[in-house]
Amino acid sequence: MKFIEEISRRRTFGIISHPDAGKTTLTEKLLLFGGAIQEAGAVKSNKIKKGATSDFMEIERQRGISVATSVLGFDYKNNKINILDTPGHKDFAEDTYRTLTAVDSVIVVIDVAKGVEEQTEKLVEVCRMRNIPMLVFINKLDREGKDAFELLDEIEQKLNLKVTPLSYPIGMGYDFKGIYNIYEQNVNLFTGDPKKDIEDTIEVKDLNTDQIDQLIGSDSANQLREELELAQGVYPEFNQDDYVKGKLQPVFFGSALHNFGVRELLDCFVDIAPPPRPKSSEEREIKPTEDKFTGFVFKIHANMDPKHRDRLAFVKIVSGKFERNKPYLHVRLGKNLKFSSPNAFFAEKKAIVDEMFPGDIVGLHDTGNFKIGDTLTEGEQIHYKGIPSFSPEHFRYINNADPMKSKQLNKGIEQLMDEGVAQLFTLEMNNRKIIGTVGALQYEVIQYRLEHEYGAKCSYENINVHKACWVEVDDEKSEEFQEFKRVKSKYLAHDKQGQLVFLADSAFSLQMTEQKYPSIKFHITSEF
């Protein structure tokens, strides 16, 4: 197959949702269609079970699963599909943000009864800011839920999106009769049997004939006609260009559990979703079709076996072909590296392959060379943008609880931070280390992993920090900046890259500081 064809058949995407909306179930059904798995139940949920905060086995179990399901690759109708897993748990939101830098589009799953939930809002916001094309799947139609119009409204209002339905439910819950596929103009009747032939749709070219009355009864048929007419009046016609630009979000309805409406979703998805897109770097925009390989690390996973300390770095291929045993430039380190066993990801396994294409994720064994955000090229100095750190929500001092093991502790902290588990800030005043996280759960993960993987012990101590703000100043020699550094010295720290960070202890003090030092800018993300 030609290089260009390989690129255009790739669909690399993430599924985002609030926990329990049905992401795992939908993923599994998509894999079934691709023939990538044989039966339901093969995909394990990567959810942290409720109340599991102190259950370390649960965290390890979750980690194990998240290695196995990080990237799920399979073929469907001549398309190569790569699903990138995104943890739903809010404490791992930063992981998800980073993964979203590697997708070309997303599918948003929404529970028909619960509507738009908190995590959906946050994740969609990130996608919206980056103009990532989004397709919405409203799930659990076999249950009573909100009315279709009400939901579409809610999605527009709360998520600030512009939607257009490409399928439409006929009834719901107890009364759920099926789905009218606006995109394909056919009807799929719901029998409640997940094993029913999924290709079993009935073409309905004209809703005004009595064909539809015979299928679902006149009352339902009339209601469907009315609602569709209304929908056509209210919502814009689907337009692929707007969708790909992130300006219009098509909506599908279905039930992942009953494998209903999923084929329609997938067929439309492979049709309209974009192949790998160009990506901007600090230097220039890079097109997937360029013949030189470039890629960036968006995720690092430590080996689950503590005896083998190597890690797996996940690289999204942006341009060119990745080849085994070919030397590539690690731009940050300025050195050439060769990879003898690059991994490609399939639904149930990973395997060493000789070449991979833009859109694919390659897993590289790493002994400590990689950090999140690193770029690999064939020699060009390219730095990919778009993997910022966000200000953590929680802050604690980390102390060494075993003085004999300080080397192990420092190495462990450094590697866990490279993996992106949390953020490290070092106070300027006294070099004390502060760990910042998105959720409280990470502190336990870090403590547990330091002990089990590095043989080090740590304890935590509270510190009152409201937000970490990256400091930007035009003139470092200015009197104002010097005064700021002197007055606020207690609150100044450096992040892992050595950038100056102001640790504000309250929203009020941040505001006061901003007012007092107008020439200094305070950012809550590391990229500005």
User: Where does this chain bind ligand GDP (CB under 6 A)?
Assistant: 17, 19-25, 45, 47, 88, 139-140, 142-143, 255-258
> Closest approach of Cβ 255 to ligand GDP, in Å?
3
Residue closer to ligand GDP (CB basis): 66 or 389: 66
Judge contact between 428 and 492, C-beta under 8 A: yes
23 annotated among ligand-binding-site residues:
yes
Residue closer to ligand GDP (CB basis): 41 or 518: 41
> Closest approach of Cβ 127 to ligand GDP, in Å?
17
Helix (H/G/I), strand (E/B), else coil: 102 = coil
Strand residues in 235-359 grouped as ranges (E) = 249-253, 279-280, 285-286, 294-302, 311-319, 322-323, 328-330, 335-337, 343-345, 350-352, 355-356
Residue closer to ligand GDP (CB basis): 88 or 274: 88
How many C-beta atoms lie closer than 10 Å to residue 479's C-beta?
A: 9
278 annotated among ligand-binding-site residues:
no
CA distances from 457 to 398, 404, 437 (A): 10, 10, 19
> Closest approach of Cβ 244 to ligand GDP, in Å?
26
> Closest approach of Cβ 45 to ligand GDP, in Å?
5
142 annotated among ligand-binding-site residues:
yes
Distance CA 495, CA 512 (A): 23
Distance CA 141, CA 375 (A): 43
> Closest approach of Cβ 359 to ligand GDP, in Å?
24
12 annotated among ligand-binding-site residues:
no
CA distances from 111 to 136, 142, 429 (A): 11, 11, 49
Vertex 490 angle, CA 487 and 496, to 5°? 120
146 annotated among ligand-binding-site residues:
no
Q: Where are the alpha helices (DSSP H) in 436-493?
A: 441-454, 479-487
Residue closer to ligand GDP (CB basis): 20 or 444: 20
Tell which residue, 147, 96, 146, has the closest CA to residue 126.
96
> Closest approach of Cβ 482 to ligand GDP, in Å?
51
Tell which residue, 270, 271, 251, has the closest CA to residue 261.
251
CA distances from 357 to 155, 273, 284, 508 (A): 35, 17, 20, 50
Residue closer to ligand GDP (CB basis): 16 or 224: 16
> Closest approach of Cβ 106 to ligand GDP, in Å?
14
457 annotated among ligand-binding-site residues:
no
> Closest approach of Cβ 156 to ligand GDP, in Å?
22
Q: Which residues contact 298 (CB under 8 A, 6 or more apart)?
A: 98, 99, 101, 102, 314, 315, 316, 372, 373, 387
281 annotated among ligand-binding-site residues:
no
Residue closer to ligand GDP (CB basis): 76 or 253: 253
> Closest approach of Cβ 494 to ligand GDP, in Å?
38
Residue closer to ligand GDP (CB basis): 49 or 130: 49
Cα radius of gyration (the chain): 25
Judge contact between 477 and 483, C-beta under 8 A: no
18 annotated among ligand-binding-site residues:
yes
35 annotated among ligand-binding-site residues:
no
Question: 366-371: long-range contacts (C-beta < 8 A, 24 or more apart)?
Answer: 366/300, 366/310, 366/311, 366/312, 366/313, 367/309, 367/310, 367/311, 368/311, 368/415, 368/418, 369/330, 369/333, 369/337, 370/297, 370/300, 370/311, 370/313, 370/330, 370/418, 371/297, 371/300, 371/332, 371/418
Amino acid, res. 485:
K
Residue closer to ligand GDP (CB basis): 17 or 105: 17
86 annotated among ligand-binding-site residues:
yes
Residue closer to ligand GDP (CB basis): 21 or 446: 21
Residue closer to ligand GDP (CB basis): 47 or 411: 47
Distance CA 260, CA 528 (A): 44
Token code pair at residue 456: 């080090």
> Closest approach of Cβ 238 to ligand GDP, in Å?
24
327 annotated among ligand-binding-site residues:
no
Token code pair at residue 437: 């996280």
Helix (H/G/I), strand (E/B), else coil: 501 = strand
> Closest approach of Cβ 261 to ligand GDP, in Å?
9
Residue closer to ligand GDP (CB basis): 21 or 376: 21
424 annotated among ligand-binding-site residues:
no
Distance CA 452, CA 185 (A): 57
488 annotated among ligand-binding-site residues:
no
Token code pair at residue 23: 């992401």
Main-chain phi, psi angles of 319, to 5 degrees = -145, 160
Distance CA 101, CA 193 (A): 38
- Mark the binding-site residues for GTP, compressed into ranges: 17-24, 85-89, 139-142
- Mark the binding-site residues, compressed into ranges: 17-24, 85-89, 139-142
